């Protein structure tokens, strides 16, 4: 399916130095924020208690928050969960309290302020040890994904393309994490899942671009490397825009209608799609050009010519 009927001829690589400078600023800002502020880890990583309650009438979240503050639970996070009748309350670990008793105190405080009965759906406790393990395993998951991608692209294309794809992926992940750190958005397991999805999305887009770059190098007889890469990027532009726009529409629907529970997940995906689309054009392709890829690098190795055999069996 084509968005643009006419052949485009944008000079993407003409702006590659400006794009590299812009990306360097973003990455430096992200790294600085990650070092200075760090990530705002959710209960999944830090440990704490999650209480899911069901009200018989629509719940006013501000009223629930005010009741919990009066009861001394100032750090409680209150969100709708699934519907306007269900509430998810998350409490950080309080060293001096037994978490089972703490959940009972929370429910009692809310029940005293509510005329109808509140149904307790579930109470879950995540200990700090589990949180540390999740943090470690999550980091290893991203590292293994990057290593696997490096190996795959090396076999599929050429080592310059492998390095370009990994540079683009690191770029996308760092910027997404940097935004979460800069604005102190909560980082939980759903966001980690979104980061892994971003890696897959960005890699898919990059491989499509690389495939067209390789084909264009072998097809075009004239033109330098920058012109050939530009031609390949213009050839894939319609497909890239179609994929990005349709995916963004789905994620926007999740963000608007999915409720607060998956807001962070949707934000991470939105960031990843936008940054991933940009990086497949300006980071991955730019890196390949900077490393000096040429037509000779992509030609298949020449086969050795066989010797002709005479009728008597001797070689010519």
* Amino acid 300: pLDDT: 58
Distance between CA 191 and CA 219 in Å, rounded?
A: 42
Cα 167 → chain centroid: 14
* Amino acid 313: pLDDT: 46
Q: Check whether 309 has a pLDDT greater than 50.
A: no
Q: What are the tens digits of pLDDT across the range 2-61?
A: 555 567 788 898 889 999 999 999 999 999 999 999 988 877 777 788 888 888 888 888
Q: If you average pLDDT over residues 184-191, what whole number do you get?
A: 87
* Amino acid 122: pLDDT: 83
Q: Which of 5-19, 112-126, 291-305 has the lowest mean pLDDT?
A: 291-305
Contact between residue 88 and residue 76 where contact means Cβ atoms under 8 Å apart: no
Domains and CATH numbers, the chain: 12-39+130-295 (1.20.1640.10), 48-126 (3.30.70.3400)
Distance between CA 143 and CA 145 in Å, rounded?
A: 5
Q: Name every residue whose Cβ is closer than 8 Å to that of residue 257 and which is 6 or more positions away in sequence.
A: none
186-187 and 77-81 beta bridge pairing = unpaired
Instruction: Give the model's confidence band at 311: pLDDT under 50 very low, under 70 low, under 90 confident, else very high.
Output: very low
How many other CB atoms are there within 10 angstroms of residue 34's CB atom?
A: 16
Task: Report the share of the chain in percent with pLDDT over 70.
Answer: 87
Any alpha helices (H) in 90-127, and if so which ranges?
Answer: 99-112
* Amino acid 252: pLDDT: 93
Instruction: Give the model's confidence band at 130: pLDDT under 50 very low, under 70 low, under 90 confident, else very high.
Output: low
Distance between CA 281 and CA 164 in Å, rounded?
A: 11
Count CA within 13 A, CB hemisphere, residue 173: 20
Instruction: Give the model's confidence band at 316: pLDDT under 50 very low, under 70 low, under 90 confident, else very high.
Output: very low
Distance between CA 195 and CA 62 in Å, rounded?
A: 31
């Amino acid at each position: 399916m084509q968005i643009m009927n006419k052949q485009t001829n944008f000079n993407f690589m003409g702006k590659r130095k400006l794009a590299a400078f812009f990306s360097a600023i973003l990455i430096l800002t992200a790294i600085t924020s990650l070092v200075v502020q760090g990530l705002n880890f959710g209960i999944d990583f830090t440990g704490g208690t999650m209480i899911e309650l069901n009200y018989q009438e629509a719940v006013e979240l501000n009223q629930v928050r005010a009741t919990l503050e009066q009861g001394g639970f100032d750090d409680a996070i209150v969100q709708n969960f699934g519907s306007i009748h269900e509430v998810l309350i998350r409490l950080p670990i309080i060293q001096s309290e037994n978490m089972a008793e703490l959940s009972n105190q929370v429910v009692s405080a809310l029940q005293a302020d509510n005329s109808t009965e509140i149904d307790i759906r579930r109470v879950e406790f995540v200990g700090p040890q589990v949180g540390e393990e999740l943090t470690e395993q999550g980091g290893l998951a991203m590292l293994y994904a990057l290593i696997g991608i490096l190996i795959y692209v090396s076999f599929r294309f050429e080592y310059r393309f492998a390095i370009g794809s990994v540079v683009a992926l690191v770029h996308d992940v760092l910027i997404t994490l940097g935004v979460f750190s800069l604005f102190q958005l909560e980082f939980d397991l759903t966001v980690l899942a979104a980061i892994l999805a971003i890696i897959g999305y960005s890699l898919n887009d990059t491989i499509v671009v690389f495939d067209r770059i390789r084909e264009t190098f072998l097809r075009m007889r004239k033109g330098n490397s920058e012109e050939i890469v530009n031609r390949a990027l213009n050839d894939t532009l319609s497909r890239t825009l179609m994929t990005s726009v349709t995916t963004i529409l789905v994620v926007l629907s999740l963000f608007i209608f999915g409720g607060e529970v998956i807001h962070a997940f949707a934000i991470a995906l939105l960031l990843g799609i936008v940054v991933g689309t940009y990086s497949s054009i300006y980071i991955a392709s730019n890196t390949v050009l900077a490393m000096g890829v040429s037509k000779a690098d992509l030609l298949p190795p020449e086969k050795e010519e066989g010797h002709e055999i005479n009728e008597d069996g001797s070689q010519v």
